[in-house]
Amino acid sequence: MKAVIIGCGAIASRWVRSLLADGRIEISALVDPDQQAAQVLVARYGLNPAFATTLPEALARAAADVVVNLTPPELHYPVSRSALAQGLHVLTEKPLALNLPDALDLVHLAEERGLLLAVMRNRGADPDFLAFADTVRSGGRAPFAVTADTLVTLTGPGFRTGQHLPVTTDLAVHAFDQVRALITAPPTEVTCTETATGFLAAHSSIATVTVHFADGSLFTYRGGYIVDPALRTDANGDWRVEGRGFAARWAPDPHQARNLPQAGPPAYQRCITAMIDALHQDGTLPVPAADNLASIALLDAALASAAHRRPVPVPEVPDALH
């Protein structure tokens, strides 16, 4: 199969490395209005793709079965939609879309056309985090009080410098994927604030999100783009869970590599391999992104709450699509 990569920024290297290591997908075109970003990838990985600044231009120059959507978050919906509408499978970086109606529209379109639509969820699918979630669910009994701190530093902030509510838009969806593995009751209400800390750096910002759940559980999240590496947490966050007679903590050391060879491939690579496996399976192609709609419902409510400065009910994901 042949893939067009749309968006050749910081995260593209990770995808190109994983696609080259897998070998089942050839990169036929690179799309980016910043042609220098595409050239950097070509030079770094010895690729031989067509170059374009839009998807239609790329399709006029190269064959394609799949679009890999690595654009900034607010372009995810229009780029994925246009790819699906042209009959192409879509593998996209998170978040699937910035609101539930757009995410539902993508899932419906993929189902209608029999196309694969899969979204990256490397933090929610991290094997160590899932082991922690198993410990919580088997050892404790809901309701739970859950807190997570995710404070990260970035070498290249890229689009985040100009992004409205960058932490809520770009980072918090990881925590929404993760908390759904800990608390299985439906979320009911979200309160979110995000404040730019531009006195640290242009992209620096801190968000707080409080989520109430139908079983009485409570999740509070503090996420931020900070500057001093000495203060950062692991990108997977620092998690604490307390229930009646139960307590657990998961706080990977941010200064110690967890992806040792014996631990197997990193979570993002496992996600990409699973997406490519799904593309190559026989019969009707699945729409794994449907499982991510509940995270987008939380993101939708969080962005609305931050914009209107009040608690917002979590929109319901239609039953057939949970």
- Chain residues binding ligand NAD by CB under 6 A are 6-11, 31-34, 37, 70-73, 75, 93-94, 120, 122, 156, 158-159, 170, 268
CA distance 10 to 272: 17
Place of tokens 């410098």: 161
CA distance 232 to 74: 26
* DSSP of 37-61: HHHHHHHHHT---EEESSHHHHHHH
Q: How far is the CB of 218 from ligand NAD (least distance, A)?
A: 26
Give me Rg for the CA atoms of the chain. Answer: 19
Q: How far is the CB of 128 from ligand NAD (least distance, A)?
A: 15
Nearer to ligand NAD (CB atom), residue 6 or residue 303: 6
| C-alpha distances out from residue 126 to 215, 288, 292, Å | 25, 17, 15
Nearer to ligand NAD (CB atom), residue 55 or residue 211: 55
Q: How far is the CB of 61 from ligand NAD (least distance, A)?
A: 15
Nearer to ligand NAD (CB atom), residue 74 or residue 149: 74
Q: How far is the CB of 148 from ligand NAD (least distance, A)?
A: 16
Q: How far is the CB of 112 from ligand NAD (least distance, A)?
A: 25
Question: Chain-centre distance of CA 42, in angstroms?
Answer: 25
- Coil vs helix vs strand at 300: helix
Nearer to ligand NAD (CB atom), residue 132 or residue 268: 268
Reference 144, options 249, 247, 251; nearest CA is 247
The residue of the chain with the least Cβ separation from ligand NAD equals: 9
